[in-house]
Amino acid sequence: MPQTEESFEFELQKQIENWVRRLKSEPSFTESDIEELKSHLLDLIDQLREKGLDDEEAFLVASKRMGTIPDLESDFREANNPILQIRRSALILAGVLVYFLLYHFIESSSKLMLMVSIYGGLDAYTGSQWVYKYLISWHLIVIFFITSIYFLENKVINFIENVRLKPKHTIFLLLTTFFLAIINISGTPIIKNMVNKERYIISYLFIHYRDFGYTFPLIVCVGFIIIYFKYYKIAKF
C-alpha cells in the first residue's frame, strides 16, 4: 500500500522529534540551545524542500549539515561550561540540603513517634526499641535507594537531566529543613520530661541517636563515593 503524504509528514515530524530527543539526552545543551538548533534545522529543511527535495531527503541533508550530535555536543560543552558548572554545583548543594532534610526528618519523626506512643500509654522501653528499629529501617531504605541508583543507570541519568532546580525549590528545601531541625531539637527535652522516671531509657535513646549520627552519614558518604565512581565518566565531570 503506497504511503500517503500524511504519513510522510508524520515521519518527518517523528524524525525531527527523535533528533531533538537526542539533543535533550545530552547535558551540554540548554533548553534555549535546543530550541535554537531545532529552529535552524527546520529552516534548513524548508530551504531544501523549496529546492525540490522531498521530506526525507531534506531531513537527511539538513541534519547532516547541522553536524553529528557528538560534534554539536562537543561544541556546546565548551561554550556552556560555566552554565554546566553552575548546574552541577546547584545540584550538589541541593543534594546536601536533601541530606540534612532527610536526617532531621528521620530523627524528628522518630521522636514524634516516641512521644505519641508514650502519650498513648506504651511503656518507654518498648517505645525506645521501636525508635531503634525505625532508625535501622531507614538505614536499610537508604542502602536500597543507593543500590537502585547504582543499577538503574538510564532512569537515574534521565532523572538528573530532567531535574530543573528553581530558586523557590531550594528555599522550600531550606525552610523544611529548618522546620524539621526545630522539631528535632525541641523533641529532646520533651522526651526527657516524659521519661523522667526511667533515666536508663534516656541513656538508650542517647546511644541510638548518637550511633545514628555516625552510621547514617557514613552510609550516605560511602554510597555517594560508589555512585560517583560509577557515573564519573558518564556525567563528564
Task: Using alpha carbons, select from 97, 120, 128 the residue that is nearest to residue 211.
Answer: 128
CA distance 164 to 170: 11
Q: Applying CB under 8 A, does 161 fall inside the site for other proteins?
A: no
Residue of 7, 13, 39, 158 interacting with other proteins (CB under 8 A) = 39
Residue of 14, 21, 51, 65 interacting with other proteins (CB under 8 A) = 65
Within 81-110, the residues that bind other proteins by CB under 8 A are 82
User: Taking the complex as a whole, how short is the minimal distance between the CB of residue 36 and other proteins, in angstroms?
Assistant: 5
Is residue 207 within a helix (H) or strand (E), and if so which, with residue range? helix 199-235
Residue of 7, 9, 67, 172 interacting with other proteins (CB under 8 A) = 67
Residue of 17, 51, 54, 79 interacting with other proteins (CB under 8 A) = 79
Which of residues 36 and 211 has its CB atom nearest to other proteins in the complex?
36
Query: For 51-123, where are the alpha helices, taking DSSP H only?
Result: 55-66, 69-79, 81-119
- Sign of dihedral through CA atoms 62, 64, 68, 73? negative
Q: Applying CB under 8 A, does 66 fall inside the site for other proteins?
A: yes
- Give the CB-side neighbour count of residue 151, counting CA atoms within 13 A: 5
User: Taking the complex as a whole, how short is the minimal distance between the CB of residue 70 and other proteins, in angstroms?
Assistant: 12
Site residue total, other proteins (CB under 8 A): 21
Helices 124-151 and 81-119 pack at an angle, to 10 degrees, of: 160
State the residues that interact with other proteins by CB under 8 A: 32-33, 35-37, 39-40, 42-44, 65-67, 71-72, 75-76, 78-80, 82
